[in-house]
Structure 1
């Protein structure tokens, strides 16, 4: 009996040996293809850099001699610039599936580890995980803030909320930097907003349980409860808007929902916009109360004035960015409306003729 079992094991091992030989051959093939892919990536990146340098030289030469050109030559120049712009767009599309260098922030945290996702499905999956992460933490902050409203003085539970926010915003800045490397077009204020919010949460964490802290505590908890509820509202509204625009081909696959008003959020914005402005003015009110507290003789903590300044910066940044986007959208819609009216009048005149 033992001999038959041993023979069976030997037969199984011999079969595995044959399969292992195939595995080794496939792995060598994979390694070779991988080396070829890396070499091809470097060659493509080098060629794109070379093309960009040559195009930059051409642009500089054209700018120097633009005034000397005849009308016919200016027409050729205009056509050439259009071709250059088209080529730049082509390069951006090519770079979506090529490795990118880490920015300064990621280089400090991760070094030069390659975090480029070359597969579009992987990029989209990572973006979806980022969105779920934001929504999940917003729900946790909402529940924790609601729970804290029933306690008058519980500094250690408050510290959990502060630490959660520090971890959340730190993680958010890293995830967003990775998204930028992989083609997501997060720009300007919203990236800066999360860095400032990290500092704000960190200062709140080390604020001693003093007279000023206890006086501001309830307002802070109510603010966090409102902000977390607003984030959840924004997520469902913005993700719905973004999904519809992606389906229509009007937005990029790597666009994300952010804490604010974006140009693609215009339709149906009458519902969400007032809540955004309430949140911004809540930040302004926080800044005012903290500034008043900092002037009181009983206040000896530097955190009070620092937080007043940070809330003021956040409010002004959010408010300014939102108003600029609204103005741009109104101007754009105004031009579109004017174009449609002119087209309607022209068609009416043709019918009369």
Structure 2
């Protein structure tokens, strides 16, 4: 028993030494982490301050440009180019800084991906069982799934925030309208066209944002193109369906 006790005592002293080293390592880690957090806060604050001053300076230069000589105009143009270059540097700096918490938007976009995936799976099952679902309405859900996936990968930033509220409002309108349509309220055709033109509005907004000087994300142009495809497909297909129903109704009225 004494030999086992001595071995346990030695192991305890070894563990005690390792524990002391662990405590010291953890103390240094906490210190470095606090220093890192302080540096991150300082960098974010300094970048925001610089961006605000540069924005004010840019507006001042735009006003001065109207009343300058040729030589002064070249100076204004050079300063504007320097401001643009500085904004690119800020974008690279911010890539290494922690972003604001957007977990809510990510969950929402993930749910949209899940929703459209389940629709495509359900339609595939219906088609395999003999359903006559075909044409654009099948492709529509694949395109919408792709769009939701791109939205999910779009990082939070100034361009995203410019489009965020418009997209959320559109999504709420679309889901609400689809739930009404499933209840058989087919007289809501004007709201259906409203949703189609809202897709066109989203496309136009995103095309404009893609040419914004602060835009660096590839998702903006891709989403603009996808919304345009959705608008064209939905609008033209709906017109075709409405025209076919009108022709059918006219044929019934002509019958004796």
TM-score range, shorter chain: 0.5 to 0.7
Please list the CA deviations of residues 255-275 of structure 1 after superposition, one character each: whole Å capped at 9, or x if unmatched.
xxxxxxxxxxxxxx4x31011
Return the alpha-carbon distance in structure 1 between the equivalents of residues 188 and 101 of structure 2. 34
For residue 241 of structure 2, what is the aligned residue in structure 1?
325
Shift of 1:335: 2.0
For residue 229 of structure 1, what is the aligned residue in structure 2?
176
For residue 299 of structure 1, what is the aligned residue in structure 2?
215
1:202 to 119, 133, 149: 149
* SS of residue matched to 1:315: helix
State whether structure 2 residue 125 is matched by structure 1 residue 178.
yes
Return the alpha-carbon distance in structure 2 between the equivalents of residues 170 and 195 of structure 1. 8
Return the alpha-carbon distance in structure 2 between the equivalents of residues 322 and 188 of structure 1. 12
Return the alpha-carbon distance in structure 2 between the equivalents of residues 332 and 228 of structure 1. 30
> When the two structures are superposed, what TM-score results if normalisation uses the length of structure 1?
0.43
Return the alpha-carbon distance in structure 2 between the equivalents of residues 233 and 174 of structure 1. 22
Please list the CA deviations of residues 42-100 of structure 1 after superposition, one character each: whole Å capped at 9, or x if unmatched.
xxxxxxxxxxxxxxxxxxxxxxxxxxxxxxxxxxxxxxxxxxxxxxxxxxxxxxxxxxx
* SS of residue matched to 2:183: helix
Return the alpha-carbon distance in structure 2 between the equivalents of residues 183 and 154 of structure 1. 46
> When the two structures are superposed, what TM-score results if normalisation uses the length of structure 2?
0.59
1:314 to 207, 219, 230: 230
* SS of residue matched to 2:215: coil
Alpha-carbon spacing, 1:156–1:323, altered in 2? closer, same or farther (3 Å)? same
Shift of 1:154: 5.3
Return the alpha-carbon distance in structure 1 between the equivalents of residues 180 and 101 of structure 2. 29
Gaps of at least 5 residues in structure 2 are 1-99
Q: Which runs of 4+ in 1 moved over 3 A?
A: none
Shift of 1:333: 1.5
Once the two structures are superposed, the pairs formed by residues 41-52 of structure 1 within 5 Å of their partners are: none
